[in-house]
């Protein structure tokens, strides 16, 4: 069965869980593009079958962690530009080249800005006019605790942006109709607070910076900061326990690569988590819109940790490429973002600045 047929089969099951308004939006997009409904629809369920190759890191900082006490929500969307990316044989372009900044003004919802591709209903990240920000990462886990009987993560993110006026409403949306392994960073600019959500089909954890779980290895509490990469910190997650992480040494990684052990190694995502966390700690109290995106660019350029640099830039197999990197300030509506382009990863392209409210008041060009 080809990938299109597999995704069509996923859609035929998943569509029962998707609110009608989003199916209508998919139909409208398909009509506008002059393509079949099913071809537009399967783009909306793609991540239900493709999330295990995705990296990413997100954090939210506020209060004592930032220059002015305001909340800043940062995220790096780490995914291969070419090797595992979708390729369009007609235009000879890859999916990352079709990323867009989307301004939404739903008739019966809240206005927002989000990042996605120009196809399918999805929000890879976003911020709405009520000060709610959302980003997500793959959550690696040793068991296959997944289901297609739920709402795809990209659509759930759109639902948050369209419908949530506070963090609790957003949490209710994100923890319902779960599908597979994801980590979310959710933040509320009005509340000046951030939340971590870990989930699989049958597991869900919602935490804050001072929950005891945030002190589980390989993490440590950081006041007024929440962050996640691709690991679960709650040992109640399917297949996770302390020994799984503690035994994820460099040696076990090599043995795993050489197929000399069946034991999984989380060495690389653990290293990634530690390296970014250590830089956040170094920059603690100085974070704002510019310094937050500079932090991501510095870490991903390999300038803070030699081992990270070795895997990422020399071996080129570990968080080496980013589709985009961005920072939101929900209190002001400001956005700093860089997009990958023409084979150049996002942390090496120029940073662009936008404001949610200016975008909402602007008129589309003819």
Sequential pLDDT tens for the chain (366 residues): 677 788 888 889 999 999 999 999 999 988 888 888 888 888 777 765 555 555 799 999 999 999 999 999 999 999 888 776 777 777 788 888 888 899 999 999 999 999 988 777 788 899 999 999 999 998 776 667 888 899 998 899 999 999 999 999 999 999 999 988 899 999 999 999 999 999 999 999 999 999 999 999 999 999 999 999 998 998 877 777 778 888 888 888 888 878 888 777 889 999 999 999 999 999 999 999 999 999 999 999 999 999 999 888 777 777 889 999 999 999 999 999 999 998 899 999 999 999 999 999 988 765
Neighbours of 221 (CB within 10 A): 13
Confidence (pLDDT) at 328: 98
pLDDT digits (tens, 9 = 90+) for 17-39: 999 999 999 999 888 888 888 88
Q: Are 292 and 276 a contacting pair, CB within 8 Å?
A: no
Query: Distance (Å, rounded) from C-alpha 81 to C-alpha 281?
Result: 30
Burial of 175 (0-12, 13-18, 19+ CB in 10 A): middle
Confidence (pLDDT) at 79: 87
Confidence (pLDDT) at 296: 97
pTM attached to this predicted model: 0.94
């Amino acid at each position: 069965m080809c990938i299109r047929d597999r995704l069509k089969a996923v859609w035929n099951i998943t569509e029962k869980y998707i609110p009608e308004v989003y199916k209508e939006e998919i139909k409208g997009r398909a009509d506008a593009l002059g393509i079949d409904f099913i071809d537009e629809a399967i783009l909306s369920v793609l991540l239900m079958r493709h999330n295990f190759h995705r990296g990413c890191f997100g954090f939210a900082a506020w209060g004592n962690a930032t220059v002015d006490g305001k909340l800043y929500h940062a995220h790096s969307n780490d995914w291969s530009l070419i090797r595992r990316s979708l390729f369009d044989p007609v235009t000879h372009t890859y999916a990352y080249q079709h990323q867009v900044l989307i301004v939404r003004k739903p008739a019966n919802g809240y206005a927002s800005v989000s990042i996605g591709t120009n196809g399918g209903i999805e929000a890879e990240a976003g911020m709405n006019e009520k000060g709610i920000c959302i980003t997500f990462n793959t959550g690696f886990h040793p068991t296959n605790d997944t289901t297609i009987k739920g709402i795809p993560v990209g659509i759930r993110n759109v639902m948050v942006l369209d419908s949530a006026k506070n963090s609790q409403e957003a949490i209710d949306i994100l923890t319902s109709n779960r599908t597979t392994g994801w980590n979310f960073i959710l933040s509320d600019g009005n509340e000046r607070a951030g939340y971590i959500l870990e989930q699989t089909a049958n597991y869900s954890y919602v935490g804050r910076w001072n929950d005891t779980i945030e002190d589980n290895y390989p993490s440590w509490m950081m006041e007024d900061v929440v962050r996640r990469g691709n690991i679960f910190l709650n040992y109640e997650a399917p297949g996770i326990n302390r020994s799984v992480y503690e035994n994820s040494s460099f040696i076990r990684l090599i043995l795993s690569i050489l197929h000399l052990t069946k034991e999984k190694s989380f060495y690389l995502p653990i290293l990634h988590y530690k390296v970014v966390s250590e830089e956040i700690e170094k920059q603690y109290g100085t974070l704002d819109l510019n310094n937050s995106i500079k932090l991501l660019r510095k870490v991903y350029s390999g300038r803070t940790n030699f081992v990270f640099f070795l895997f990422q830039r020399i071996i080129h197999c570990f968080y080496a490429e980013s589709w985009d990197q961005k920072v939101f300030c929900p209190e002001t509506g400001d956005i700093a973002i860089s997009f990958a382009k023409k084979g150049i990863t996002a942390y090496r392209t120029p940073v662009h600045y936008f404001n949610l409210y200016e975008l909402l008041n602007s008129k589309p060009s003819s």
